[in-house]
Amino acid sequence: VYRQLTPNRLQDKVVLVTAGGTQEPLDPVRYIGNRSSGKMGYAIAGMAAQMGAKVTLISTRPELAVPANLAQVIYVRTAAELQGAVASLYNEADVVIMAAAVADFKPAQYVSQKIKKQVGQTDMTLELNRTPDILATLGQEKKKQYLVGFAAETNDLMAHAQVKLTAKQVDLLVANDVSQTDRGFGADQNAVTLLRPNQAPEALPLASKKVIATQILERISTALSSKEE
Ligand code: CTP
Ligand code: CA
């Protein structure tokens, strides 16, 4: 079957993309965050729009330039806000791509005034509580949606990613090595391995995040059309 290479391959599909790292506030001036730059999610959102999708981007990164032709951008900070935004749009979505690095723990208490150190204080202990696993919840509630997760790993990439593919019930897991500075978090390039249930892993070699985004979206488009046929 002949298929167009890229244009219109996601025509009118409703695509939800999350991007960036969440920030969990401790007090009005401090938060717990991570090194996710949002660039991979932005590249995916922009390319999905170019492929004809109706894209909503949920982002923690208001300083990044918004890609052309998105349907909507929603800015969030915390894991809880990101979860609320995703939940409100999940039923209508055909594809959900969780590229955001969501905090696993947040401060047990938010202190409404700046925390002051005491004279002579030499250490401080923070109590943290687990945040909900948004992607796992989406996996449990999945109906028609094609669900995509990322796995950020510094070691034993494939073993850890394989566990996440199954545990979170996703259709595609993008395994992302974040231990090297030329790729992954913060970089303009990436190299990933795609894991799908009952399919051999597929390595996408080092390339710009735009190229990686295109390859990921082409796989998604192919999966959607084989579901329809
Ligand atoms: N994720 C999520 N909600 C969380 C944590 C993670 O939805 N509270 C999603 C991320 O958006 C990503 C996937 O789960 O798509 C994997 O995130 P990752 O941090 O690699 O894995 P975790 O399951 O959090 O496991 P760990 O950090 O312990 O490796
Ligand atoms: Ca995590």
Helices (H), 18-76: 39-50
Categorize the per-residue pLDDT at 227 as very low, low, confident or very high, splitting at 50, 70 and 90. Answer: confident
Categorize the per-residue pLDDT at 23 as very low, low, confident or very high, splitting at 50, 70 and 90. Answer: very high
Tokens standing for 90? 């999940």
pTM of the full structure: 0.96
- The pLDDT value recorded for residue 72 is 98
- The ipTM value here is 0.99
Closest CA to 174 of 41, 14, 57, 4: 41
Identify which of 82, 164, 192, 193 to mutate to test ligand 1's pocket (most ligand atoms within 8 A of the CB).
Answer: 164
Query: In the predicted model, is pLDDT for residue 79 greater than 60?
Result: yes
**How far is ligand 1, taken at its centre, from the CA of residue 151, in Å?**
7
Annotation: binding site for CTP: 104, 114, 132-135, 150, 164, 168
Q: Averaged over 74-84, what is the pLDDT?
A: 98
**How far is ligand 1, taken at its centre, from the CA of residue 135, in Å?**
7
- What is the distance between the terminal CA atoms of the chain, rounded to a whole angstrom? 12
Q: Averaged over 78-91, what is the pLDDT?
A: 98
* Rounded Cα distance, 65 and 12, in Å: 23
Q: Averaged over 6-35, what is the pLDDT?
A: 95
Helices (H), 125-172: 134-140, 157-167
Annotation: binding site: 104, 114, 132-135, 150, 164, 168
Categorize the per-residue pLDDT at 1 as very low, low, confident or very high, splitting at 50, 70 and 90. Answer: very low
Contact 159, 145 (CB under 8 A): no
Categorize the per-residue pLDDT at 4 as very low, low, confident or very high, splitting at 50, 70 and 90. Answer: low
168 Cα nearest atom in ligand 1: 14
- The pLDDT value recorded for residue 7 is 76
